[in-house]
Structure formats: structure tokens, C-alpha cells
């Protein structure tokens, strides 16, 4: 900082001091500039500039997905929001529950695909959402709800009877889309955190989103820590193919669920397999654990378990001998949402209790 001297002195003294001041002033300026460069500014303006914004600035552009029709690969597509959506259709129960967790119940005008046990913690809020179909909803039903955003599972964006319409078709009608990152092949647990972060930005509830991500990360670490002592086990997804006959599903596209199950030390025996898997392949591979998918309207899981354990052709399986066939809820594991933590925690407890 430059000093200003306001005193009268003899001329000689002034000349002498002028030389000294010039030298000192130069040194002082350089020292102060260096200090200012090295030290962080404490001014309010600088602090505000350094802090990340928790408010959404519209228009907001989010990187999301589209594809060329049912069964084709998903590719990047941007969605631009001029404001926070006001009328949302969630194409699955799990997607709707996630929005509830972020405080967005009042933004939903429809939900579909109620295929599993709901989260009791959001049950009362869920009742406030119009159910456009308990099964998978058609495009006609979805568009009939007059949404400005359709959000949810990737493979339901299709022009089939069970599909909500393609991304391109909905966008052409002026309806924005948000395909859950968790529902695209190659997704991981980080994809769930990304979903929550992006939804927080879209609806300008970024603080809610950040807090919920932190909560879920703690749950993930707890699962990992508790399961570390158990060691790795192999598993396979199975279901009742009818009359108690076992059917095997590879789950090769369900990388999100596979990543979460990895926290429990579980590795999918058929995670890289495409196409059908026979009972003979299951017996030859002999996974340690079988995970039985259970959904609303499906076969009674107790009846299926009884049939599997009694099937003479399955008696060589470790999962049959050790009674390690565990029912898992469809909504929790294929809702592509936070409820997978509820399912994983329940499964971890059952595996521990079965030692």
C-alpha cells in the first residue's frame, strides 16, 4: 500500500527523503503485490465467486440419451430446460420414489409400473401421485397426462404397447425426457449419484440432491465394510419359469445392480453371457448363491423356493445344498433407484444370518 506524507519539511530534507521514499515505496509495492498474490482474498465478493453455486441458472442443458428404437444402443443427446419441469410422468415406481426423496412429489402428474414392494418411508407421499397404470404405461396414457417431462427407465422408451414412446417421439411433441443413467448398460453405482445430481440441477433442488448423495455414499461404504470379511461369492439370477421349473437370467445388461451387489462381495457368474442359459449350464457353473426375482402378480416365492429345493435335478447345486437361494424384490433391484440399497442391506443381513 502507498503511504502519503502530508508534512512540510525543509527542501534538502525533502530531496533526501524523496530518494529514500522512492526506493522504499518500490520495495513495499513489490512485497505487497507478492503477498496479495500468495494470500487468498477475504473480501465477500471474492468468497462468493469461489463458492460453487447451488442455484440452477436456466436455460440448463443436461447430457442424456436417445436411441434409434427398441433394442438399439443408447447414445448421447442433450436436453435443454428453460425452467424447472412442472408436470412429470415417472415411468416406474422406483423413478417416482427417487423424486419424492428429493422433495418433488408435487411435480408429478403420473406414475406407472408398480411391480414390487414400495418404500414404506415414502408411502404416504406416493399416494398423492396419480397412477396412470399399475403395469407398464403406453405412450397414449403418458401423453394423456400432459407432462412436460417423462423420466425413468431406458428400455421403456419405446413405441410398443408397453412403452411410453421413444425419446425422439416425445421430444417432437415438446415433452422433455430424462433417461436414468442407472438403466443404461455399463452403468455403476456412480450412475445413481449422477442421476440425483442432474435431477437436482433440473429442478433446482441441488442442496437436497447433494445431501442425499452423501447419505447414500455412507450406506454404500457401510455395506462394503460389513461384507469385506465374508469374501467373494458367485451368484446367478433365477426365476420361476412355470410349475416350479427354474429359469436363469444372465443379467449381463444390469451392470448397475451388479455393481451394488459387488459391495456385498457377490460376483455374477453369467455377467458376460448373452443369450439363453440352460439348467445344465447353471449346474456346471454351480454358483454359491441364487437370487430369485419376486414381483407383484408373480408366483408366490415360498412356493418357488419349495419347488427349487425339492427338484432332484438341482440337488448338486451349492445354493440348494446350503439353502442360499434368496428372494429379491423386483422394484428394489430393477427400479434403477435408491431402493436397491434397501434390497442390498436386506440381502446382506440374510447372507450373514445363514453362515
**Is 55 a member of any domain?**
no
- Is the pLDDT at 32 greater than 90, yes or no? no
Please say whether the beta carbons of 74 and 127 come within 8 A.
no
Judged against a pLDDT cut of 90, whether residue 113 lies above it is answered with yes
- Mean pLDDT to the nearest integer, 209-217: 98
pLDDT at 60 over 70: yes
Per the model's pLDDT, the better-predicted residue between 12 and 86 turns out to be 86
CATH at residue 311 = 3.40.50.1980
Is residue 3 a part of any domain in this protein?
Answer: no
Q: Is residue 154 part of a domain?
A: yes
Could you give the 3-state DSSP secondary structure of residue 40?
A: coil
Q: Assess contact for 188 and 336: CB atoms under 8 A.
A: no
DSSP H or E run through 265? none
Kindly state whether residue 275 falls inside one of the protein's structural domains: yes
Question: For the chain, what is the domain count?
Answer: 3
Residues 210 and 302 in one domain: no
Length of the chain: 355
The mean pLDDT of 15-34, rounded to a whole number, is: 38
Is residue 226 in a domain? no
Q: Grid coordinates representing 353?
A: 444370518
Q: Is residue 6 part of a domain?
A: no
Query: Nearest 5°: phi and psi at 294?
Result: -120, 130
Inside any domain, residue 5:
no
pLDDT in tens, 295-306: 888 899 999 999
How many of the other CB atoms lie within 10 Å of CB of 125? 19
Give the pLDDT of residue 52: 53
CA angle 39, 45, 47 (to 5 degrees): 55
**Confidence (pLDDT) at 53:** 59
Judge if 185 and 274 occupy the same domain. Answer: no
Q: Are residues 302 and 349 in the same domain?
A: yes
Is residue 174 classed as helix, strand or coil in its secondary structure? coil
User: What average pLDDT score do residues 89-114 get?
Assistant: 98
Least confident stretch, 11-20, 75-84, 324-333:
11-20
DSSP strand E in the chain: where? 60-66, 75-81, 88-90, 108-112, 131-133, 149-152, 176-179, 233-240, 246-249, 266-268, 289-294, 325-329
Q: Are 225 and 263 in contact (CB under 8 A)?
A: no
Instruction: Write out the residue range of the structural domain in which residue 311 sits.
Output: 231-353
pLDDT digits (tens, 9 = 90+) for 157-191: 999 999 999 999 999 999 999 999 999 999 999 99
Are residue 145 and residue 198 in the same domain, yes or no?
yes
Last residue of a domain, one of 196, 218, 240: 218
**What integer pLDDT is reported at residue 39 of this predicted model?**
39
* pTM of the entire predicted model: 0.83
Using one digit for the tens of pLDDT, what is the confidence trace for 138-166?
999 999 999 999 999 999 999 999 999 99
88-90 and 108-112: which strand pairing? parallel
Q: Residue 48 has what pLDDT?
A: 38
CA angle 8, 9, 11 (to 5 degrees): 120
C-alpha 26/C-alpha 281 separation (Å) is 83
Q: What distance in Å separates the CA atoms of residue 200 and residue 203, rounded to the nearest whole number?
A: 5
* Percent over 90 (pLDDT), the chain: 79
- What is the reported pLDDT for 105? 98
Higher per-residue pLDDT: 45 or 216: 216
- 135 shares a domain with 246: no
pLDDT digits (tens, 9 = 90+) for 243-297: 999 999 999 999 999 999 999 999 999 999 999 999 999 999 999 999 999 988 8
d(CA 26, CA 2): 9
Could you list the beta-strand ranges (E) of 3-161: 60-66, 75-81, 88-90, 108-112, 131-133, 149-152
Considering the domain architecture, whether residues 324 and 241 belong to the same structural domain is answered as yes
pLDDT at position 212 over 80: yes
CA distance 66 to 154: 9
Instruction: For residues 287 and 164, state if they share a domain.
Output: no
Mean pLDDT in the chain? Answer: 87
3 state SS of 204: coil
**What residues are paired with 246 via a beta bridge?**
240
Contact 98, 108 (CB under 8 A): no
Amino acid at each position: 500500500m502507498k503511504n502519503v506524507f502530508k508534512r512540510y519539511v525543509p527542501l534538502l530534507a525533502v530531496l533526501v527523503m524523496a530518494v529514500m521514499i522512492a526506493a522504499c515505496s518500490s520495495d513495499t509495492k513489490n512485497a505487497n503485490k507478492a503477498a496479495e498474490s500468495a494470500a487468498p482474498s477475504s473480501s465477500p465478493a471474492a468468497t462468493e465467486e469461489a463458492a460453487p453455486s447451488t442455484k440452477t441458472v436456466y436455460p440448463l442443458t443436461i447430457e442424456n440419451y436417445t436411441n434409434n428404437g427398441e433394442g438399439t444402443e443408447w447414445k448421447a443427446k442433450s436436453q435443454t430446460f428453460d425452467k424447472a419441469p412442472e408436470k412429470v410422468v415417472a415411468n416406474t415406481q422406483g423413478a417416482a420414489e427417487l423424486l419424492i426423496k428429493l422433495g418433488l412429489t408435487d411435480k408429478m402428474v403420473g406414475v406407472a409400473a408398480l411391480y414390487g414392494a414400495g418404500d414404506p418411508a415414502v408411502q404416504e407421499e406416493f399416494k398423492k401421485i396419480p397412477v396412470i397404470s399399475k403395469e407398464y404405461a403406453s405412450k397414449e396414457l403418458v401423453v394423456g397426462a400432459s407432462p412436460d417431462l417423462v423420466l425413468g427407465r431406458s428400455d421403456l422408451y419405446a413405441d410398443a404397447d408397453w412403452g411410453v414412446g421413444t425419446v425422439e417421439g416425445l421430444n417432437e411433441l415438446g415433452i422433455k425426457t430424462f433417461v436414468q443413467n442407472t438403466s443404461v448398460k455399463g452403468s455403476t453405482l456412480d450412475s445413481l449419484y449422477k442421476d440425483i445430481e442432474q435431477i437436482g440441477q433440473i429442478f433446482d433442488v441441488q442442496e437436497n440432491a447433494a445431501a442425499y448423495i452423501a447419505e447414500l455414499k455412507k450406506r454404500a461404504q457401510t455395506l462394503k465394510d460389513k461384507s469385506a470379511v465374508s469374501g467373494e461369492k458367485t451368484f446367478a439370477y433365477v426365476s420361476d419359469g412355470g410349475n416350479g421349473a427354474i429359469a436363469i437370467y444372465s443379467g449381463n445388461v444390469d451392470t448397475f445392480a451388479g455393481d451394488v451387489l459387488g459391495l456385498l462381495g457377490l460376483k455374477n457368474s453369467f455377467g458376460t453371457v448373452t443369450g439363453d442359459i440352460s439348467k445344465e449350464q447353471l449346474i456346471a457353473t454351480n454358483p454359491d448363491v441364487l437370487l430369485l426375482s419376486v414381483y407383484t402378480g408373480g408366483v408366490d416365492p415360498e412356493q418357488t423356493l419349495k419347488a427349487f429345493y425339492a427338484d432332484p435335478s438341482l440337488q448338486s447345486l451349492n445354493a440348494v445344498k446350503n439353502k442360499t437361494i434368496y428372494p429379491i424384490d423386483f422394484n428394489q433391484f430393477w427400479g434403477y433407484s435408491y431402493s436397491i440399497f434397501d434390497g442390498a442391506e436386506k440381502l446382506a443381513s440374510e447372507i450373514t444370518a445363514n453362515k
